[in-house]
Amino acid sequence: MDRERVDQLIREADAHYLKGELQEALSLYRQVLAEDETVAWAHSRIGAILAEFGDEAAAEASIRRALELDPYLPQAHSNLGNIYYSRGDYQRALAQYQKAIQLDPRQPIYYENLHAAYKKLGRIAEAVAAFKKAQRLHQEKAREEARAHLKQAAANLRRGGCLSTTLVVMLTVLLLVIILR
């Protein structure tokens, strides 16, 4: 097994996945598993893709394999929750979303999923609280990204970068920070 090759395949697969190019991502994740069958991340992502394609049985099997390999992978718990949710088993979905949050409390999508499950269960106050938490996390992430862009623009300016481009970036980031407050 060539670890560097596996890592490169994962990066490429993730890039396709994030762009919504699911067929390409699926092919690359399968290549990852051909190189190393123990990559829980690839199993989880394959499960998510198969669920998108409507193959719930294969999706669940892939996600369960991910959890066998890494029971602390929050994405796999969230993905399994999505399978349960799509079947109308909101209580089991809720438990998986809660586990994902327990493992990684900074991901807004987990709270959005939690919101949906609570709502389906008629637990409106908890649904609203989960929705608000998701919105706060989205805002925090946007602020962090804006600060990082501002810091980079300032560094570019100090290194003698293009003043007009740097100012445009700085003003854009500043505007985003003001809007998101």
Q: What is the pLDDT of residues 28-71, one digit of tens each?
A: 999 999 999 999 999 999 999 999 999 999 999 999 999 999 99
Residue 61: phi and psi, rounded to 5, are: -60, -40
CA distance 6 to 58: 23
H helical segments located in the chain: 3-18, 22-35, 40-52, 56-69, 74-86, 90-103, 108-120, 124-158, 163-180
Q: What is the pLDDT of residue 124?
A: 97
Q: What is the pLDDT of residue 151?
A: 76
106-150 pLDDT, tens per residue? Answer: 999 999 999 999 999 999 999 999 999 999 999 998 888 877 877
> Positive or negative, the Cα torsion across 100, 105, 106, 110?
positive
Which pTM was predicted?
0.80
Q: What is the pLDDT of residue 180?
A: 60
Cα dist from 86 to 41, 45, 46, 80, 164, whole Å: 21, 17, 17, 10, 50
Q: What is the pLDDT of residue 144?
A: 85
Q: What is the pLDDT of residue 177?
A: 63
